[in-house]
Structures are given as structure tokens and as C-alpha cells.
Chain A
């Protein structure tokens, strides 16, 4: 069974006077260990799809299976559990807690599954080492560069050993040199067996992936394997 399987999922926003279909029947299958880039013009539904895959949102219609579990039937608590254990989210704007140190930001997901304090620190330090930030654990976000902030966010996404890393335009706020560093990091994580899905506008970023899914107007326009 595939890691991700969506069957004709729709996401419709009811705006009162009109209905906005952000997704119109998306069916995709993604296997464990894949490295997928999602592309498409602005407003084509990339973020909407990522949020659904990441269990931050549920489809208006259709079925979504993650690790064979029917996500569309789960309640709020079960979705939170999946977000906590199965998914590591990386955002364009980093989304770190501004007043917290790198260490605390990274240990945050562990707090919500009851990991003990000592274990949290050990795991958070490990995750920070994986993104080469072992020497920045007491820094707060405003004491870090953009690339470093994104690496802290990636460490946070990794800390629970998730089955899936989702990144929505992870390099959107970074210059090209820093972007390249982040993409190298993703390459490394992928080679270590992580499944990665990333949304991007840039061909150079997408070229790191092994498969490119293009969305247009809420539907899959193309699905190609590269490399």
C-alpha cells in the first residue's frame, strides 16, 4: 500500500455568494521514499493540497489515505496525533516561536506526545545536529540567519522521525545561495530514506526532486518522473 493515496479529493470554500473550488478532484499516489515537487501557477491549489496531505485540513469530498488510514474519517484529536507523529511541516515563513531558543523550538512537537524532558533534549540536539546547527541551540530566531532559521524549522520537522516531510515553498524567503544549501539538506534527508514533498515555483528547486506534479486550476495537469 502506498504512503499517500488521494481519491478524487475536492476542497471547496463556501464564500457565501460563490463557491471557490481550490481543488477539483485530485487523485495521486505517492510511495514511501519518493521525493516529489509540486508546481503550478499561483492560486492553482498547491498549498491547499499540501494542507490536506499534512492533515491540517480535511477534504470537502473524496478520500485520503495516509499509511492506509482513512484520514477523511478522523476527528480533531486523531488529526493532531498524525500531524505530531507522521508529518514534519516546513513553511515558507519558518513559523518558529520568536521568543524560544532553537532547542525549545525543535523539542516542541515532543512536548505534545508526552516525551520526557531528558529525552526531548537529547532528540532535539540530535535533530539540530542533522541540520548542522549543533552550535546554535541557545540562539533565538532573531539571532539566526534566514537559512539557519529554516534549518531549525527542518530540525523541528525531523525530530519525531515522521514518515513524511512536507515543505511549502521552503526557499521562498531565501536567496539562491541559501536555497541551494537547503536543497542539499533535503537531498541528504532523502538519501537517508525520508519521503519529501515540496511545493516550489522554481525549476532549480524542483530539479532536485525525482517527480514533478503540476497543478492547474485545482486539478493535476501533469505528473512526470525526472532524473
Chain B
């Protein structure tokens, strides 16, 4: 009850000094803007990536000779590994009991051309007929290639929405023949639009049978990337172990050596992503915290001035029965109100700024609960840390001395 009344006193004091109060806020506002922009942008970015990876499905994992390299040494070590080839894929298909679907695939880049129009760096994905069941591409029109196409090395492709838009405006692409590199392929299907991410166009691709690709383009240096779907989420670990054992014995890895291939689930990838962005986050937030500290020092300064300006007021309050804690609370409330309103304003501006920045690279962000809680506690914490000293100073004033203060 007394606390409420004292809060009211603090609000009135701030309102009586609007200009000074708002100037005091600025430091905190700027600090909060930078923190919020960074947190929101990072959150938004990881969320988009997560959503992307999440589409792989929780029971799916990938095997390849190398997937992620953490250093140059790592890269040179891994690039020397034996490629994963169709024999490995066949082995897993035949022997792995806990694997529901096994689909080897590979990637390359080439020019995609129809008539006089072309896409220079078109993406080629080559896989077996069941790839469509595992990956996130969906058929919008037509069909994906079949087991027969795989067997006969049919020269057929499913095209991405971007290819349709760029090369076939106003024409139905199904049944048309386009060139990928130097060879000709008949279009049998069109994929659903994926949309760009981080400013990267993701719809300029074609998918063809892996056998056709092998005949036309040969082996890639990185070898195959096998996408495997386990029987269930619960069986994921066991399925991975099964595949690991199969591959180790096939590739002749001694029992005391480590795997000569990479395996990856959506979870592992997410963890990796988190550990990368964590460092970023800490560094960036560390930098912008400096502006918060500067803002805090401004608040402290203003509060020190307020305490000495209002010494007489403090004396009067004490003379009529205010306790130390009442005075402490009054001034602490003032700095808390200042910093948290500054924090709120900064959070709103920071969020809008992040939205604007991130919007330029085709990403959506929403204020995360984490960012809001972090922002509020940082600004309140600043108010507390930098407000406590002036408030204590006020609380400790001797009433007689304070009353005779000129």
C-alpha cells in the first residue's frame, strides 16, 4: 500500500521534469535498440533456418563423406576420404532393418536453358525415385521420376518454380524439352514454390534420376549424400548405429579408428547452428551492452543531481516520518521507471528496425518471448544497478542537515 503511494510520488517527480526525464531515457533507448535489433535479427535468422531444417523431419538423417567442416585441416582431412557411392546406398537399402527409406542424391550446378532464355547457375539435384518422399520438395504439377526412369536412365526432369517462372512465362512447361548443361531433358513435373531465404533464390533447380546424372555428368568429388528415413523417431538412434556399422565394415574402418564419413540429423545440425550463433550473440550483445552501461551512467548522474536538488524535500519527508526504506524506494522507483520505459521504447524501435533489416533478406521475425524478457530484465537491472547508489545516498541523509540545506 505504502509502496503504491511511493510509486505515485516517483511518477509525479518524473512527470514534473519531462524534458530531463526523456533526455535521460535516450541512452537506455539507444542501448536497447541495438540489443533488440541484434537479438531479434539473430532469433529470426535461426528460426528460419530451424524451420528449414525442421522440414527434413525428425526421423530423417543424412550420410555423406563430408557434410560440415569446422576448419581448413578438417576440410583437407575429409576431402581425402573415399566417396560414398551407390554401392553404399545399395548396402543400406538391403541390409538396414531400421531404415524405412533410403535415397542417395547428389548436387551440381549447370546452365539451364530453354529457347533463348537461360539460368546461368541452375542447381541440379539428382536422386532416386523415392527422394521425393523424404525431402521437402513437393510436386505441384505433373510427377516425380519413377523407379522405371531410374532403371532406364530416362532423360526427364522435375523443375523448380523459379525455372518455370524464368524460362516458361505463359507456356505450360510439362512435356517441353530443356537443356541442362549440354544434354536435353523432358520436363515431367513442376515443384511447389519454396520462396527465397536470406536473399537466396531457392527455386532455380531441376531434379533428375541419379542414374541419368551419373551417365551424363559422372561422379562428383564430394560423392553421394544419402538421405535416410528411420522407421520412427524413437528408432532414429538405432538406425544410425546400424548404418554406421554397415558403412564401417564396408569401408574397412578399423575398430579403433573414427568414422570416415559424416552423419547428420536435424538435431545435430541445429546444435551446431546454435553453437555458432551463440558466440555471435554473446559478442554482439557484449558490444551493445556498453551502450546500456553508458545509459545507466547517465541515469545515475541524473539521479545524483536529483538527490542533491531535492535534499530539502528529502529532509521534509524524513521529518514527518518517512523511513529510510521509503526514501530509498522513491528514488529507486524513479530510476526503474526511467530505465524500463527507455527499455520499452528501445525494444519497440529495435524490433521495428530488425524487422526492416531482416525484411530486406526475405525473412520474417516476430518478437520472441526471450527477447522481450531479456530486454525488460536488462533495462530494469540497469535501473537497479545504477539507481541504487543515488537512492541509498538519499535514504541516508540526516533529516536536520537535509532540512537546513540551501
Contacts and interface: CB of A to CB of B under 8 A. Distances in A.
Interface string B311-325: 011011111111110
Interface string A144-169: 00000000000010001000000000
Contacts of B324: 76-77, 80
Nearest to A85: B321
B281 interface: no
Given A77-B324, A80-B318, A108-B317, A99 B16 contact: yes
B400 A56 contact: yes
Interface of B: 1-2, 5-6, 9, 16, 312-313, 315-324, 326, 399-400, 403
Nearest to B1: A114
Contacts of A112: 2, 317, 320-323, 326
A156 B317 CA distance: 12
Nearest to B318: A80
A8 B322 CA distance: 29
Contacts of B319: 54, 56, 83, 89, 95
Nearest to A93: B403
Identify the 3 closest CB pairs spanning chains A and B, nearest first.
Answer: A84-B321, A109-B320, A80-B323
A108 B320 contact: yes
Contact of A81 (B316, B317, B321, B403): B321
Interface residues of A, number: 27
Given A81-B323, A95-B403, A99-B16, 4 more contacts: A80-B324, A84-B322, A109-B320, A114-B2
Contact of B321 (A96, A113, A116, A117): A113
Contacts of B403: 56, 91, 95
A76 B323 contact: yes
A15 B349 CA distance: 55
Contacts of B326: 112
Given A51-B400, A56-B400, A76-B323, A111 B6 contact: yes
Contacts of B313: 97
A78 to B, nearest CB: 10
A80 B399 CA distance: 10
A187 interface: no
Nearest to A82: B321
Contacts of A111: 2, 5-6, 9
A158 B190 CA distance: 89
Contacts, number: 62
A57 B398 CA distance: 9
Residues of B contacting A: mostly = helix
Given A56-B400, A95-B403, A111-B5, A77 B320 contact: no
A77 B323 contact: yes
A80 B312 CA distance: 17
B88 to A, nearest CB: 79
Given A56-B399, A114-B2, A116-B1, A97 B316 contact: yes
A89 B317 CA distance: 12
Contacts of A84: 320-322
A215 B341 CA distance: 55
Contacts of B323: 76-77, 80-81, 112
9 contacts: A56-B318, A80-B321, A80-B324, A81-B321, A83-B319, A83-B320, A96-B316, A99-B16, A113-B321
A114 to B, nearest CB: 5
Contacts of A108: 316-317, 320
A83 B321 contact: yes
A24 to B, nearest CB: 19
Nearest to A54: B319
A127 to B, nearest CB: 13
Nearest to A99: B16
Contacts of B16: 99
A85 B400 CA distance: 18
A208 to B, nearest CB: 24
A57 B402 CA distance: 12
A76 B324 CA distance: 8
A87 to B, nearest CB: 8
A197 B318 CA distance: 20
A41 B316 CA distance: 26
Contact of A156 (B312, B318, B320, B399): B320
A113 B316 CA distance: 15
Nearest to A98: B313
A108 B315 CA distance: 13
A49 to B, nearest CB: 13
A95 B2 contact: no
B313 to A, nearest CB: 6
Nearest to A157: B320
Contacts of A56: 318-319, 399-400, 403
Contacts of B312: 95
Interface string A10-53: 00000000000000000000000000000000000000000100
B40 to A, nearest CB: 40
